[in-house]
Amino acid sequence: MRPLLLCIHMDPNRLMRISLTAMAQGIAVKEVKEGQWGQRIGALCGLEPEWERPPKAKVDGEMMVMAFFSDWQLDDLLSAIRKNGIEPARLKAVLTPVNRTWNCGQLYAQLMQEDAAMRARRE
C-alpha cells in the first residue's frame, strides 16, 4: 500500500506545509477532522469501512499517524519536514495491529501518557 500520513487536529497552515512536503515524497495525506475522531485508526487508513456515525472522541492536540511506511520513508519524511523549517507534531505514531483498533481519542490518550513518561525520564 502507498504510504499514508494522517494529520489529526492540525493547524491549517502547518497541515498545508506538512502535506506539501509529504506529497513531494509520494506520500498520501489525509486530514482527520473532528467529526472523524471517533473512527478507528484502521478505518481512517482504509483497512476497514468507516462508521456512518462514529462515536465522539476527544483530541486536545495535534497528532500524526504514519501508515504503510518503510523505515527509510519514515526517516526521510521527518527529516524533510524539519529541513523545510516545520516542526513535526510532538505526538506521532506508526500504524500497528494494536492501535489500528483504537479511535483518535484513545490514541491521543496513549501518546500523551508515553510523552509524559519520556519527559519525566529526562528530568
**Looking at residue 121, what is its pLDDT?**
86
CA-CA distance, 110 to 108, in Å (whole number)?
Answer: 5
For the chain, residues with pLDDT lower than 70 are none
> At a CB cut-off of 8 Å and minimum separation 6, what does 94 contact?
65, 66, 67, 69, 74
Determine the pLDDT at residue 122: 82
Q: Are 65 and 47 contacting, i.e. CB atoms less than 8 angstroms apart?
A: no
Query: Does an H or E element contain 83, and which?
Result: helix 71-83
Q: Three-class SS of residue 31?
A: strand
Its pTM stands at 0.94
Residue 51, helix vs strand vs coil: coil
The set of cell numbers assigned to 122 is 529526562
